Amino acid sequence: MTLPVPERVPRHIAIIMDGNGRWAKARGLPRAEGHRQGTENLRRIIRACVEFGVEILTIYAFSTENWRRPPLEVRLLMTILETVIDRELRELNENGVQIRHIGRLDQIAPALQKKIQYACDFTKNNHRLILNVAFNYGGRDEIVQAVKRIVREGIPVEQINEDLLNRYMYTGDLPDPDLIIRTSGELRISNFLIWQGAYAEYYVTPTYWPDFNKDELHKALEEYNHRKRRFGKTDEQLSEDEFK
Ligand code: FPP
């Protein structure tokens, strides 16, 4: 189905893919089935993003807090990433997707670390869509890691400002997300892109992640088109800016 591309497409969309478990529960299925359907949906949404001309998609796949889930589920989420890389890497590469990882690699099993690094390296020259996979990612931890590197490198205190800190974030060379979507209705940010999301537009839908299809994404983009991004300015200043 071809949907009209909205007038103003966000360059960078970030998604908290929530609700796989509840989607499964509502159907009397095991949580694993929810994650499987959620993974299938991710393929559809990546394709839709390419079609709509989104340049960067950041997905929250595993948070630093997700280690607290039952060990079997943690193992399943690790396996899902492994399987996605094994199964989808070639197609993602052929479609010009550049895979990046954001988060801590050090606590992940060495074999999976290698696989993630391989996927990033293999696709590093692609430029159609940058796919940031937030895996073992936490926003507070990202800031802590940035500060540690700054201190370790002996950066003088006078040089420390927002631009500098920004460069030390995992997404340092990328524009901030314009739109952050959360599925399944929770009104929380859950430690996701807390530095980068300072001026993002937020969109929350009750739809569970496995059902968040291209139509739903289009709805989110339409809503984004109706938002007025002020970046702290007044309406009058924004109208003046238009004529500059
Ligand atoms: C939220 O559902 C989803 C996750 C914890 C991440 C899992 C994401 C996928 C399976 C998509 C593809 C993943 C990768 C690794 C590329 P939930 O379990 O929090 O749902 P609930 O809140 O309803 O229990």
Residue 80 Cβ < 6 Å to ligand 1: yes
- The b/e string for 132-171 (b: 16+ C-beta within 10 A; e otherwise) is bbbbbbbbeebeebbeeebeeeeeeeeeeeeeeebebbbb
Strand-pair category, 97-102 with 179-183: unpaired
Instruction: State how far the Cα of 178 lies from the Cα of 192, in Å rounded to an integer.
Output: 14
Instruction: State how far the Cα of 23 lies from the Cα of 189, in Å rounded to an integer.
Output: 20
Instruction: State how far the Cα of 141 lies from the Cα of 104, in Å rounded to an integer.
Output: 9
Query: Considering the chain, what percentage of its residues have pLDDT values greater than 90?
Result: 89
How confident is the model at residue 33, as a pLDDT?
98
- Taking the centre of ligand 1 as the mean of its atom positions, its distance from the CA of residue 31, in whole angstroms, is 9
- Taking the centre of ligand 1 as the mean of its atom positions, its distance from the CA of residue 9, in whole angstroms, is 26
Report the candidate in 189, 169, 231 with the shortest Cα–Cα distance to residue 15. 189
Task: Summarize pLDDT for 13-35 with one digit per residue, the tens.
Answer: 999 999 999 999 999 999 999 99
Residue 22 Cβ < 6 Å to ligand 1: yes
Residue pLDDT tens, the chain, 244 long: 566 677 789 999 999 999 999 999 999 999 999 999 999 999 999 999 999 999 999 999 999 999 999 999 999 999 999 999 999 999 999 999 999 999 999 999 999 999 999 999 999 999 999 999 999 999 999 999 999 999 999 999 999 999 999 999 999 999 999 999 999 999 999 999 999 999 999 999 999 999 999 999 999 999 999 998 777 878 787 777 766 6
How confident is the model at residue 234, as a pLDDT?
80
Structural tokens at position 208: 């569970």
Query: Residue 18 catalytic?
Result: yes
Residue 42 Cβ < 6 Å to ligand 1: yes
Counting atoms of ligand 1 from 1, which one is nearest the CA of 81?
A: 15
How confident is the model at residue 243, as a pLDDT?
63
How confident is the model at residue 231, as a pLDDT?
78
Task: Summarize pLDDT for 46-83 with one digit per residue, the tens.
Answer: 999 999 999 999 999 999 999 999 999 999 999 999 99
How confident is the model at residue 2, as a pLDDT?
63
Name all domains of the chain by residue range, CATH numbers in brackets. 12-143+177-227 (3.40.1180.10)
How confident is the model at residue 191, as a pLDDT?
98
- Taking the centre of ligand 1 as the mean of its atom positions, its distance from the CA of residue 21, in whole angstroms, is 7
Structural tokens at position 81: 């990433």
Residue 109 falls in which region: left (phi positive, over 0), alpha (psi -120 to 50) or beta: beta
How confident is the model at residue 230, as a pLDDT?
76
Q: How high is the mean pLDDT of the chain?
A: 95
